[in-house]
Amino acid sequence: MVIVNWNRAELLRACLDSLCAGQGAGFETIVVDNGSGDGSCELVERLRPALPYPVRLIRNSANLGFCAANNQGIEAARGEFVALLNNDAEAAPGWLGALLTAFEDPAVGMAASKVLVYQDPRVIDKVGHLIYLDGQNRGRGTGQIDAGQFDRVEEVLWPDGCACMYRKAMLDRSGGFDEDLFAYADDAELGLRARIAGWNCLYIPTAVVRHHRGSTLGKQNPRRVTLIERNRVLLAAKLFPGTLLWRNVAYYVARLAAGLWAAMLNRGEISRFQSPGGKMAVLWAMARGDWEALLLLPRMLRKRRQMRSLRKLSPRQVKQLLLRHRISLKELSQGVAQRP
């Protein structure tokens, strides 16, 4: 199991403590610290002797990003399967054992958890992912009350990197996280790349974690908005079939217009920024993300060409996959919960 940490010592402590309950599988934990200055590494060293499972600590001198740090942990992992758990998430008993049941089918390369909101575990954070056709992705079921509507094992598009499991052979063949993304949408890029390479993903409802949402940079941090916007463009440029890619700007304009309308109704993501200045800041952050994406576009197009050797799905099959797991514009812009 890999846990990436950056300046969240108390959350990390709770995360490590949650794994002390029976997990239904043997495991080791690899904590990759991204240059924390809050005593996180010292905390791990103090806790390690008392924890009922082995812990390895990788110390980075600077923040290398979520992608690079996870790749370090994945490379160091020795098991047939690699689980990821955010430092701001806490696993329920049996979480790991439940995820392992997904891999009885050799075509399954990824397993998704039922992720609940920490502050109110009646509310779903995400149960797998959906995607809008400009590359923006959103958690499936986000905001819904957990009333058993997602209590069956089923295929999903990809798992959320907050709490998931990957087959190590899949990562070896398809590659790990794309470090150009740094953070945000990294799990989406890896998941879609793996799907294109022919791997499947199962959602396991009995694999439960509770998640402190947006604790890495904060939900209203403009840099978070910039990275999300930048990386949805990079994901589309690298992985989308041409029939969707050439329409990307039109889908983006539709999403932006819907988001602005939702903000006027005090709904959706932009409504979290209460003042006019805050709303302008988020629009500026999105524009900056588009500019940063433009600068990285040549590199992504080179990676797109390199994908040919991995491809098992045709462009038509990829389009069908995305359409099957598409999020509606209304749900994306206004946060309106849809039944499965």
Confidence of residue 338 (pLDDT cuts 50, 70, 90): very low
Q: What is the pLDDT of residue 283?
A: 84
φ and ψ at residue 137, rounded to 5 degrees: -120, 160
Q: Taking all residues of the chain, what is their mean pLDDT, rounded to a whole number?
A: 92
Confidence of residue 294 (pLDDT cuts 50, 70, 90): very high
CA distance 231 to 186: 8
- DSSP secondary structure letter of residue 314: -
CA distance 240 to 326: 13
Q: What is the DSSP string of 74-114?
A: HHH--SSEEEEE-TTEEEPTTHHHHHHGGGGSTTEEEEEEE
> Is 43 within the bounds of a domain?
no
For the cut 50, the answer to whether the pLDDT of residue 15 exceeds it is: yes
- DSSP secondary structure letter of residue 308: G
> Is 111 within the bounds of a domain?
no
Looking at the chain, the number of H-run helices and the number of E-run strands are 12, 12
Q: What is the pLDDT of residue 268?
A: 60
> Is 310 within the bounds of a domain?
yes
> Is 239 within the bounds of a domain?
yes
For the cut 80, the answer to whether the pLDDT of residue 255 exceeds it is: yes
Share of the chain above pLDDT 70, in %: 91
Q: What is the pLDDT of residue 236?
A: 97
Q: What is the pLDDT of residues 268-281, one digit of tens each?
A: 665 555 566 776 78
> Is 318 within the bounds of a domain?
yes
Q: What is the pLDDT of residues 24-83, one digit of tens each?
A: 999 999 999 999 999 999 999 999 999 999 999 999 999 999 999 999 999 999 999 999
pTM for this predicted structure: 0.93
CA distance 304 to 302: 5
Q: What is the pLDDT of residue 267?
A: 65
Q: What is the pLDDT of residues 82-109, one digit of tens each?
A: 999 999 999 999 999 999 999 999 999 9
Q: Beta strand pairing status for 163-167 and 124-126? A: unpaired
Q: What is the pLDDT of residues 191-229, one digit of tens each?
A: 999 999 999 999 999 999 999 976 555 556 888 999 999
> Is 256 within the bounds of a domain?
yes
CA distance 74 to 82: 7
> Is 33 within the bounds of a domain?
no
Q: Show the tokens assigned to 235.
A: 């994901």
Domain around 269 = 222-334
> Is 27 within the bounds of a domain?
no
Structurally, the chain folds into a number of domains equal to 1
